[in-house]
């Protein structure tokens, strides 16, 4: 391939590529209107061409029928001896549009007349010929054989037929152009009107892309059965999900920052105590004897407290990783009885009423479930006076619509939990009393661990405030069958 040819191909490809980019970059309404016009132009062209061909064929058929009738009439006149052989080989009737004559096979053709076929066929024929003087003039010719080698020839000019066909084609073309122009205006208007809801959806997407995630479409103005209506509904649903995800992310970040601050505070307090006692000892401010023993006891107590806090954080971290434990059948009733005995040993003066009879087996981790019951009782001990009674029940709830459940409830008769604190009661490091004093509350992880254990065992936990006061914690776990 030569270089000029290759260069032309490259230029052609680049031009086509630019055209395609321009086409795909144009607004959808313009492209739909252009495609509609092109489709109409193609259909109109094809239908016009077919109509012109059919019209031309029909006109020729009518002309051929007229030629046959004229030839039969001339032959009849010749048979009646009204036309003799002395008139052969010339046109007996000459007019601008009609020629009638009797010819033999070797008849000559005069100038300015229809050009006879040479030689003339000996059988009936119909053909189109040109004028000998003016080739632009065409004739439709019909020949009808007679006895003695004579042939009746009739020719009609195609000028009027051609002119009629051209006029009809011109009218059809002009009407097609007018229709195309009208369709361009009407089609563009209709397409843009029908796509106006889509433009609103696109504008909404631009608004959301600009950072306004609260923007919503007016779905009442979008017919729900249309594609645009479904798109608008899907977009609003996506925006709802996106806004919820962003709110959840922001809430998670806030919880993470609060968690980091609370964990830092909880760990800093015992570390400061340990550091203070150590610096006192190193500086010689603590003489040997009872003061040193008390300092060591305080250091050990703070280390234990910090160790327990770290263990609780590690336990929550393992729950966050969603590591599946190897569950086995556990008697929750026995765990409740053991935990209540331990609580009574710690606070002998607190009235504890326990009801945990029957077969109360669940699939779970015994250590985690023991921690759950202990944390619930520890929460009662932490926030209520030692004389406040507590009621602990564990019972089997038979299956109704789902599987059977073991229900554990812990009810105290203390001051209760404020209504505004109930939604946050299972948050990590959350305390109803905002004071950071250890006397007014633990680390704030007890109920968070309860919620994590219940979730790991595919159960539910709720906290409520009974009408007569106090706090009621209800844990539901699937029963082991």
Task: Say how many domains are in the chain.
Answer: 3
Asked whether residue 472 falls in the same domain as residue 334, the answer is: yes
Rounded to the nearest 5 degrees, what angle is found at the Cα of 352, between the Cα atoms of 350 and 353?
A: 155
Count of residues making up the chain: 481
Cβ neighbours of residue 258 closer than 8 Å, sequence gap 6 or more: 429
Asked whether residue 243 falls in the same domain as residue 294, the answer is: yes
pLDDT at 437 over 60: no
Task: Answer whether the bond into residue 199 is a cis peptide, omega within 30°.
Answer: no
> What's the domain range around 137?
82-161
Asked whether residue 358 falls in the same domain as residue 458, the answer is: yes
Residue 439 pLDDT grade (very low, low, confident, very high; cuts 50, 70, 90): very low
- DSSP strand pairing (405-412 vs 98-103): unpaired
Asked whether residue 318 falls in the same domain as residue 329, the answer is: no
For the segment 37-46, the average pLDDT, to the nearest whole number, is 78
Question: In terms of Cα–Cα distance, which of 247, 79, 55 is closest to 165?
Answer: 55
Give a three-class secondary structure readout of 9-26.
Answer: HHHHHHHHHHHHHHHHHC
Measured CA to CA, the distance from residue 75 to residue 81 in angstroms comes to 10
Give a three-class secondary structure readout of 66-81.
Answer: HHHHHHHHHHHHHHCC
Residue where one domain finishes, among candidates 323, 345, 375: 323
pLDDT digits (tens, 9 = 90+) for 314-334: 666 666 665 556 788 888 888
Q: Does residue 313 or residue 118 have the better pLDDT?
A: 118
For the segment 44-70, the average pLDDT, to the nearest whole number, is 81
| Mean pLDDT taken over the chain | 77
Q: What is the CATH number of the domain that holds 273?
A: 1.10.287.130
Q: Are 413 and 383 in contact (CB under 8 A)?
A: no
Asked whether residue 314 falls in the same domain as residue 296, the answer is: yes
Q: Give one DSSP letter per residue of 75-129, joined into a string.
A: HHHHHTTSS-GGGTTEEEEE-SSEEEEEE-TT----TTSB---SSPPSS-EEEEE
Residue 438: the pLDDT is 45
Residue 475: the pLDDT is 92
Is 168 a domain residue? no
Residue 436 pLDDT grade (very low, low, confident, very high; cuts 50, 70, 90): very low
Residue where one domain finishes, among candidates 306, 323, 340: 323
Residue 440 pLDDT grade (very low, low, confident, very high; cuts 50, 70, 90): very low
For the segment 209-238, the average pLDDT, to the nearest whole number, is 68
Structure tokens at 57: 């064929």
Measured CA to CA, the distance from residue 455 to residue 447 in angstroms comes to 12
Distances (CA, A) of 164 to 55, 208, 410: 10, 64, 104
Asked whether residue 319 falls in the same domain as residue 329, the answer is: no
Residue 10 pLDDT grade (very low, low, confident, very high; cuts 50, 70, 90): low
Residue 300: the pLDDT is 77
At residue 231, the 3 state secondary structure works out as helix
pLDDT at 1 over 60: no
Among the listed ranges 34-48, 145-159, 212-226, 455-469, which one has the minimum average pLDDT value? 212-226
Is 132 a domain residue? yes
Please report, rounded to a whole number, the percentage of residues in the chain having pLDDT higher than 90: 2
Measured CA to CA, the distance from residue 189 to residue 177 in angstroms comes to 18
What is the Cα Rg of the chain in Å?
53
Is 299 a domain residue? yes
Is 253 a domain residue? yes
As separate numbers, helices (DSSP H) first and strands (DSSP E) second, the chain gives 9, 12
Q: Which residues of 415-434 are buried (b: 16+ CB within 10 A; e: fewer)?
A: ebbeeebbeebbbbbbbbee
- E-strand spans in 215-308? none
For the segment 8-21, the average pLDDT, to the nearest whole number, is 68
Asked whether residue 371 falls in the same domain as residue 437, the answer is: yes
Q: Does residue 244 or residue 412 have the better pLDDT?
A: 412
pLDDT digits (tens, 9 = 90+) for 247-264: 877 877 776 676 666 666
Is 196 a domain residue? no
Asked whether residue 292 falls in the same domain as residue 307, the answer is: yes
- DSSP strand pairing (390-397 vs 352-355): parallel
For the segment 167-174, the average pLDDT, to the nearest whole number, is 78
Is 204 a domain residue? no
Structure tokens at 443: 């680390």
Q: What is the CATH number of the domain that holds 352?
A: 3.30.565.10
**First-to-last C-alpha distance (Å) of the chain:** 84
Sheet of 460-464, strand order: 352-355, 390-397, 405-412, 471-478, 460-464
Q: Are 417 and 433 in contact (CB under 8 A)?
A: no
Highest mean pLDDT among 80-89, 118-127, 187-196: 118-127
pLDDT at 411 over 80: yes
Among the listed ranges 201-205, 343-347, 454-458, which one has the minimum average pLDDT value? 201-205
Residue 138: the pLDDT is 84
Residue 123 pLDDT grade (very low, low, confident, very high; cuts 50, 70, 90): confident
Residue 213: the pLDDT is 66
- E-strand spans in 212-279? none
Asked whether residue 123 falls in the same domain as residue 263, the answer is: no
């Amino acid at each position: 391939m030569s270089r000029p040819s290759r260069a032309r191909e490259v230029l052609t490809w680049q031009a086509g590529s630019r055209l395609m980019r321009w086409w795909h970059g144009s607004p959808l309404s313009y492209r739909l209107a252009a495609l509609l016009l092109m489709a109409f132009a193609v259909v109109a062209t094809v239908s016009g061409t077919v109509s012109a061909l059919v019209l031309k064929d029909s006109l020729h058929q009518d002309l051929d029928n007229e030629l046959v009738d004229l030839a039969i009439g001339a032959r009849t006149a010749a048979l009646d001896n009204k036309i003799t052989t002395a008139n052969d080989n010339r046109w007996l009737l000459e007019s601008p549009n009609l020629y009638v004559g009797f010819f033999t096979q070797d008849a000559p053709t005069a100038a300015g007349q229809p050009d006879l076929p040479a030689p003339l066929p000996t059988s009936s024929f119909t053909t189109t010929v040109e004028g000998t003087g003016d080739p632009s003039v065409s004739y439709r010719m019909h020949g009808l054989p007679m006895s003695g080698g004579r042939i009746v020839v009739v020719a009609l000019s195609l000028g009027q037929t051609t002119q009629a066909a051209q006029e009809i084609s011109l009218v059809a073309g002009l009407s097609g152009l007018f229709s195309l122009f009208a369709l361009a205006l009407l089609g563009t208007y209709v397409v843009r009107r029908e796509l106006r809801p889509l433009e609103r959806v696109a504008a909404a997407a631009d608004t959301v892309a600009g950072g306004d995630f609260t923007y919503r479409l007016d779905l009442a103005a979008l017919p729900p059965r249309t594609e645009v209506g479904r798109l608008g509904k899907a977009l609003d649903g996506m925006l709802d999900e996106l806004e919820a995800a962003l709110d959840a992310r922001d809430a998670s970040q806030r919880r993470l920052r609060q968690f980091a601050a609370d964990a830092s505070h909880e760990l800093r307090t015992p570390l400061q105590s340990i550091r203070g006692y150590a610096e006192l000892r190193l500086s010689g401010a603590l003489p040997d004897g009872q003061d040193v023993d008390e300092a060591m006891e305080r250091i050990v107590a703070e280390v234990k407290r910090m160790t327990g806090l770290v263990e609780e954080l590690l336990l929550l971290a393992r729950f966050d990783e969603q590591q599946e434990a190897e569950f086995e059948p556990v008697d929750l009733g026995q765990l409740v009885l053991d935990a209540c005995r331990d609580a009574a040993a710690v606070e002998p003066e607190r009235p504890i009423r326990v009801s945990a009879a029957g077969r109360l087996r669940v699939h779970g981790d015994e250590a985690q479930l023991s921690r759950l019951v202990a944390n619930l009782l520890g929460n009662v001990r932490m926030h209520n006076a030692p004389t406040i009674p507590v009621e602990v029940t564990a019972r089997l709830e038979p299956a109704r619509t789902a599987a059977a459940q073991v229900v554990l409830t812990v009810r105290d008769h203390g001051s209760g939990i404020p209504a505004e604190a109930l939604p946050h009661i299972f948050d990590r490091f959350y305390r109803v009393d905002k004071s950071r004093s250890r006397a007014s509350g633990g680390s704030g992880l007890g109920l968070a661990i309860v919620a994590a254990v219940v979730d790991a065992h595919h159960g539910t936990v709720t906290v409520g405030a009974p009408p007569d006061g106090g706090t009621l914690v209800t844990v539901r776990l699937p029963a082991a069958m």
